């Protein structure tokens, strides 16, 4: 049996006509950059996330970058984030010339630990504390970070909060949607995300009039009015084609999320029936986990298991094999193995299983059967 990690062709088959109609319209109009389709998507995403504004941008990575630029983050600033995330989270900090200050994760949810953020800040002297600019929590795998204590810490020390919600569109913390707690919420429309475009794209949510305006100016090279620049921005524009495609898909997102949640429940039953208690399944702590990934943590032989499943035709992935504090490009931060033990443990022992909406119960049974066979 073949079980891919993600089957975007199956999803496309269900929306082909609608997508073709809207893309055809845009081809005929020859209006490709920003414009009415982007405006419409921005209104819809703001609505969906229950945020005041949203600003379409060129990717999830650029969403992070433009927020850091809006915040005037640069050399001399430090920004707190997690070492266990996709590279862009910390990469964007380094790109504006600021310094990432890593804080370890919680071992059950893989999200940044608020207690450890507080410990870190408490341990800094006054000079180091005055350099702190922001916190970037990541809603990893589709589950919100512990936003209440994170916001409390941010308020206490006067820090901005930029949520990396690239994996978390529609996720909720105590009933509130991801991307609406901090100053900014950053989302990605990379094709493999829960709400994916047919190329690169992203969006930033904010509840602030000023941030909204500044993001819109930075998105077009800091131009306001056209060809007058009092800020240096970049080309962070979203395409009309991507916006229109994402708008079609947004209507189906809640249905797809329910299917992912159902698949997660099916896995839980299958693992319990198989007696695989030694494997840690995702720990749901927040009110709406959207399962961008279904992550298992195994006690031993992760890489051999990965090979075994791949040989059986099952698409699996490791998110992420090397935590960011041990990446070569961050050697200048002078970290060593052992600095963030829970991130290192997760990097060594976790595996993502297929969880996409169109996955069948039969395919899931096959996946769990192969895992059981491996440990037998």
Ligand X SMILES: *Cc1c(COP(=O)(O)O)cnc(C)c1O
Contacts with ligand X, residue ranges (CB under 6 A): 59-61, 85-86, 88-89, 138, 164, 166-167, 188, 190, 200, 202
Reading the block at residue 187, the tokens are 């989302």
**Residue 88 or 309 with smaller CB distance to ligand X:** 88
Reading the block at residue 262, the tokens are 């159902």
What residues have CB less than 8 Å from 111, skipping those under 6 apart?
Answer: 82, 105, 137, 138, 139, 140, 143, 144, 145, 146
Question: Minimum CB separation from ligand X for residue 371, in Å?
Answer: 25
Q: H/E element holding 253? A: helix 253-273
Minimal CB distance residue for ligand X: 60
**Residue 271 or 294 with smaller CB distance to ligand X:** 294
Question: Minimum CB separation from ligand X for residue 301, in Å?
Answer: 27
Question: Minimum CB separation from ligand X for residue 60, in Å?
Answer: 2
**Residue 292 or 364 with smaller CB distance to ligand X:** 292
Question: Minimum CB separation from ligand X for residue 342, in Å?
Answer: 17
Question: Minimum CB separation from ligand X for residue 138, in Å?
Answer: 5
Question: Minimum CB separation from ligand X for residue 224, in Å?
Answer: 25
CA atoms within 13 A on the CB side of 368: 24
**Residue 190 or 340 with smaller CB distance to ligand X:** 190
**Residue 270 or 351 with smaller CB distance to ligand X:** 351
* Cβ pair 302, 348 in contact under 8 A: yes
Question: CA nearest 185: which of 164, 202, 200?
Answer: 164
Q: Where are the beta strands (DSSP E) in the chain?
A: 53-57, 78-81, 99-102, 132-136, 160-164, 172-173, 176-177, 184-188, 202-206, 294-297, 350-353
| Alpha carbons 56 and 67: distance in angstroms, whole number | 12
């Amino acid at each position: 049996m073949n079980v891919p990690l993600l089957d975007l062709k199956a999803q496309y088959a269900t929306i082909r006509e609608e997508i073709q109609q809207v893309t055809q319209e845009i081809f005929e109009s020859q209006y490709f950059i920003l414009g009415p389709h982007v405006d419409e998507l921005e209104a819809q995403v703001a609505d969906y996330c229950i945020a005041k504004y949203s600003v379409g941008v060129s990717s999830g990575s650029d969403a992070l970058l433009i927020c850091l630029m809006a915040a005037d983050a640069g050399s001399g600033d430090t920004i707190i984030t997690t070492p266990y995330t996709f590279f862009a989270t910390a990469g964007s900090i380094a790109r504006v010339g600021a310094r990432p200050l890593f804080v370890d994760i919680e071992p059950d949810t893989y999200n940044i630990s608020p207690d450890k953020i507080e410990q870190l800040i408490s341990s800094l002297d006054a000079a180091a504390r005055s350099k702190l600019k922001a916190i970037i929590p990541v809603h990893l795998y589709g589950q919100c970070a512990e936003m209440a204590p994170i916001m409390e810490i941010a308020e206490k020390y006067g820090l901005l909060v930029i949520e990396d919600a690239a994996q978390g569109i529609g996720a909720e913390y105590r009933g509130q949607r991801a991307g609406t707690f901090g100053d900014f919420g950053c989302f990605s429309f990379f094709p493999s995300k829960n709400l994916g475009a047919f190329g690169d794209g992203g969006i930033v949510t904010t509840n602030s009039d000023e941030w909204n305006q500044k993001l819109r100016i930075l998105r077009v090279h800091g131009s306001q009015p056209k060809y007058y620049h009092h800020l240096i921005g970049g080309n962070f524009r979203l395409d009309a084609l991507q916006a229109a495609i994402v708008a079609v898909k947004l209507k189906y997102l809640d249905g797809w999320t329910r299917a992912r949640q159902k698949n997660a429940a099916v896995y839980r039953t299958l693992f319990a029936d198989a007696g695989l208690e030694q494997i840690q399944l995702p720990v749901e702590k927040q009110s709406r986990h959207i399962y961008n990934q279904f992550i298992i943590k195994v006690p031993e032989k992760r890489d051999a298991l990965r090979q075994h499943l791949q040989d059986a035709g099952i698409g699996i992935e490791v998110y992420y094999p090397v935590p960011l504090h041990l990446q070569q490009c961050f050697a200048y931060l002078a970290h060593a193995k052992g600095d963030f033990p829970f991130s290192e443990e997760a990097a060594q022992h976790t595996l993502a299983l297929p969880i996409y909406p169109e996955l069948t119960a039969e395919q899931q049974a096959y996946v769990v059967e192969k895992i059981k066979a491996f440990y037998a």
